Structure 1
Amino acid sequence: MVTACAPLRKAPLPAGLPREWYISHNRRLKAMRLAIALLDTGVHHPATADNGRIRETAERIGLHPPSDTTCRMVRALIRYGR
């Protein structure tokens, strides 16, 4: 019997780092969430994950629309996960 695990408790981000670190950290998290959502919907090739499809997925799962940079990161995650 398989049971769902409880979500992990989020730890606070470390203080005192440059603002760019927090921006890139949050961008990577968003890209990972979007890549997982796209893989779950059957998008397994980066060519089929255009910016429009990525932004539609973000809207569907409740994320703010990603930037072009984040969309490139999502395609890279899909590409290197193969």
Structure 2
Amino acid sequence: MSAPKVPLPAGQPREWYETHNRQLKAMRLAIALLDSGVYTPARATDQRISGTAARIGVRPPSRATCRLVRSFLPTLGGCAR
């Protein structure tokens, strides 16, 4: 069950909205990658992230979004397996 959607605050610069939406998309992709067994940034290639985006029905991510996705993944592999 997802949380209720709340409108974004008005009056922010366009850059703020772009950053906010990029972070949400990157987090959705990072969660999908973790669910599919990709636990480290080294295994999260741009191609794998793009494939995951297609699988979950998200528009193809930019290179900046792919970098952000990798930054959300654990770097030392200390996550559960």
TM-score when scaled to structure 1?
Answer: 0.89
Q: Which amino acid aligns with 1:26?
A: N
Work out the percentage of aligned pairs sharing the same amino acid.
61
Deviations 1:51-75 (A, max 9, x none): 0000000000000000000000000
- How many Å separate the matches in 2 of 1:59 and 1:9? 25
Q: Equivalent residue for 2:24?
A: 29
- How many Å separate the matches in 1 of 2:47 and 2:2? 30
> Unaligned stretches of 5+ in structure 2?
none
Aligned-partner SS, 1:8? coil
Q: Equivalent residue for 2:44?
A: 49
Larger Rg: 1
> Unaligned stretches of 5+ in structure 1?
1-5
In the alignment, structure 1 residue 64 sits paired with structure 2 residue 47: no
Query: How many residues of Structure 1 are paired with residues of Structure 2 in the alignment?
Result: 77
- How many Å separate the matches in 1 of 2:70 and 2:5? 26
Displacement of 1:32 after TM fit? 0.1
Deviations 1:7-62 (A, max 9, x none): 22100000000000000000000000000000000000110000000000000000
What RMSD in Å do the two structures reach over aligned CA positions? 1.4
- How many Å separate the matches in 1 of 2:37 and 2:3? 26
- How many Å separate the matches in 1 of 2:73 and 2:18? 21
